[in-house]
A and B are shown apart, each in its own frame.
Chain A
Amino acid sequence: MTISLAPFANNWFFLLKAVWITVVISLSSMLLGFAIGIVVGSLRTYGGKWVDRILGFYVDTMRAIPLLVVLIWIYFAFPLAIGISVNVMTAAIAALGIHLGAYVAETIRAGLTSVRRGQMSAALALGMSRMQAVRTVILPQALIRMLPSLGSLLIFAIKDSAIASVIAVPELLRQTQVVAGKTFRPFELYTGAMLIYFLLCFPVARSVDRLYRRISFLGSS
């Protein structure tokens, strides 16, 4: 077996663009997922029984259905249902974000409920509104406690962006397949892609770990 690096040398720009798309999809779906997660997680914790039930249904549905199925449904079936076509990037970011959002919501909810009740009472006693109390007292502590779980969700966002290759989003895995098919060098290309994903994920995992070790004391009450 000989290993040839020519496929990388000849297609480096093509693959670099693919890495960029992977980064864009991961970051956008993280933003969307965290926005959904923070809203849904807080509403489930403080919004009363019915809000909790309805949003709980969304969360549990996303926990039950594979991301691949959500993605395919949003890209192929949803446009038929509403009669508008959806572009691949939008579909990918929407599916990844909606799926991730459920997991973020669960983490946020667990974090918020882990902050002791006394904190809320103390904040209310100081004349804060519930909203203020959550924003300035509860959430900052909860976010720090949730950091390890949120960090692993960031890694999942990067890894799951590879599933977008199934609907032909020109991200790293998809373009790796294209080059592998053209050059007949699957070993080098798929191994290279693995290393690139590893280089994208591992530093994120490590820096979240390090950050948590630095600031975890702020979250203890």
Chain B
Amino acid sequence: MNLHWDVVWDNLPRLLAGAWMTIWLSVVTMALSIPGGLVLAFMRLSPLSLVSKPATAFVEFFRATPLILQIYWVYYVLPAYFDVQMSQIATAIVGLTCNISAFNSETFRSGIVSIRKGQWSAGRALGMTDIQILWHIILPQAALRVLPALATTWVSLFKDTSLVSIISVPELSYVGLKIRSETYRILEVLTAMAVLYWLMGYPQAKMVDWIHRRFKVVE
């Protein structure tokens, strides 16, 4: 079997541009999903069922259906039936953000709930309002606790951006598959694509392990 690795070198700039798009998509999605997740988490913790029920439904639904289907849904259904016109990249960001926000909200919620009740009582005894307690006592502690779970979600988001290749967003997978069909050097191109993902993802996986060790909750 003849391998032509020069195909990979010739197309390396395109692959790297795709890799850059992958990183960009992950960063933008996470930047939107942290506030998104916080809002959903606070909504779920609300005592008003009119507020908490819809948030619960949203979160459970997005966590129990495949992301790839959510992306198709946003892509095919929103423009055709709700008259929302978006570029592919915007579609990808909307789909990914809804999904990751749902996962983040569970992370934040468990972080907030994990802070012991005594902390609230202590705050109240000092005459603080609920908002003050949340802002000065609960959230600073919860922020460190959610970091490991957030890091795990980050890595799965980074991998999941590959799924938006199905709606032709030019990230690494899409570019890789495109070069494959242009050159027919299937083995070389797909291997190069996997190696690029590995080069980016492996340090992140290690970093997540480190964060898990460093910020493990010790009561």
Interface of B is mostly: helix
Residue in A67, A162, A166 whose beta carbon sits within 8 Å of that of B159 in the complex: A67
* Among B33-41, B43-51, B128-136, B186-194, the stretch in contact with A: B186-194
Q: Is A65's CB under 8 angstroms from B198's CB? A: yes
Contact with B along A132-173 (1 / 0, CB 8 A): 000000000000000000000001000111110110000001
Q: Does B23 contact A (CB under 8 A)?
A: no
How many residues on the A side are at the interface (Cβ–Cβ under 8 A)?
40
Q: Is B66's CB under 8 angstroms from A159's CB? A: yes
How many residues on the B side are at the interface (Cβ–Cβ under 8 A)?
43
Q: Is B197's CB under 8 angstroms from A64's CB? A: yes
* Among A30-38, A39-47, A84-92, A192-200, the stretch in contact with B: A192-200
Q: Is A163's CB under 8 angstroms from B201's CB? A: no
For the complex formed, measure the closest distance between the CB of B35 and the CB atoms of chain A, giving whole angstroms: 24
Give residues in A with beta carbon < 8 Å to B: 1, 60-61, 63-70, 72-73, 76-77, 80-81, 83, 155, 159-163, 165-166, 173, 177, 180, 186-187, 190-191, 193-194, 197-198, 201-202, 205
Add 15 more A-B contacts to A68-B165, A194-B70, A197-B69 (CB < 8 A). A63-B201, A64-B200, A64-B201, A64-B204, A65-B194, A66-B161, A67-B162, A69-B193, A72-B177, A159-B65, A159-B66, A173-B68, A186-B80, A201-B64, A201-B65
Give residues in B with beta carbon < 8 Å to A: 1, 60-61, 63-70, 72-73, 76-77, 80-81, 155, 159-163, 165-166, 173, 176-177, 180, 186-187, 190-191, 193-194, 197-198, 200-202, 204-206
